Copies of this chain bind each other. A is one copy, B any other.
Amino acid sequence: MGAVKTKRMPRAVREQQMLDAAVQIFGQRGYIAASMDDIAELAGVSKPLVYLYLNSKDDLFTACIRREAQALFAAVRAGVRRELPADRQLWDGLLAFFTHTARHPDGWSVLHLQARTHGEVFAAEVTVVRAGIVAFVTQLIAEAARDALARSADRAPAGGASVDPPLPERDVAGLAEALVGAAESLADWANATPSVTARQAAATLMNFAWTGLGELMAGRRWSPPSA
């Protein structure tokens, strides 16, 4: 299962092998349950070499988090073209996201589960990337709201009072949070349900989110009962 034992490789290569092994073990067993012995064995090297190159279990885990976070963020960014309409951007981003998490389930587990469960320091690493994604989504929603506002102004010819007010910032933040959270949960669900493809997951969420958002844009909101 582990890499074929090849001797004397340049450091950069060995380091990648170690990170590969570490992500796999960390992702499947969790930070604490993963043992450096297992990681070294899967990487096909001795334990001291892992320490020589990656320094400590903490550092190794951090390196895994960073690598996987970069990869995920890069995949999403590569999937989106900012010149397209907001809904298309959202769709492309979701598709890229679900595709990447489906292809790298261990990396996704490291990011979404393990890093958040084992200490503030690790969680902080993920928080940075996640904040980037939430910010991106927030921007997208605000953009879409502006578009909707413009369209509805066009439709009401004589400058009537019917122009809808923009969404308050706080609501947008909550909505983005909910959307990202839903995406994360769906990624887990899709990974746990082999019959669900990345495309289907993206479509489900897009339906759920966009149509709902469309209505919000049109100014119709659901109001909680008073009590």
B217 contacts A145, CB within 8 Å? yes
Fill in one digit per residue for A86-124: 1 if any B CB lies within 8 Å of its CB, else 0: 011001000000000000000000000110111000000
Tell whether A216 pairs with B225 under 8 Å between CB atoms, given A118-B30, A181-B185. Answer: no
A143 to chain B, nearest CB (A): 10
The answer, yes or no, to whether A74 is at the interface (CB within 8 Å) is no
How far apart are the CA atoms of A177 and B204 in the complex, in Å? 9
The answer, yes or no, to whether A12 is at the interface (CB within 8 Å) is no
B222 contacts A210, CB within 8 Å? yes
How far apart are the CA atoms of A213 and B189 in the complex, in Å? 20
Chain A interface residue count, Cβ-Cβ cutoff 8 angstroms: 62
Which of A3-11, A42-50, A75-83, A163-171 binds B?
A163-171
A221 contacts B207, CB within 8 Å? yes
The 10 closest A-B pairs by CB, nearest first: A212-B212, A181-B185, A164-B219, A148-B217, A174-B204, A182-B182, A211-B215, A32-B32, A211-B212, A210-B222
24 sample A-B contacts, Cβ–Cβ < 8 Å, listed by A number: A30-B117, A88-B225, A91-B225, A113-B117, A144-B213, A149-B217, A152-B219, A174-B196, A175-B208, A178-B204, A179-B208, A180-B185, A181-B186, A185-B185, A203-B224, A206-B224, A208-B209, A208-B212, A208-B213, A210-B214, A211-B212, A211-B222, A212-B216, A214-B215
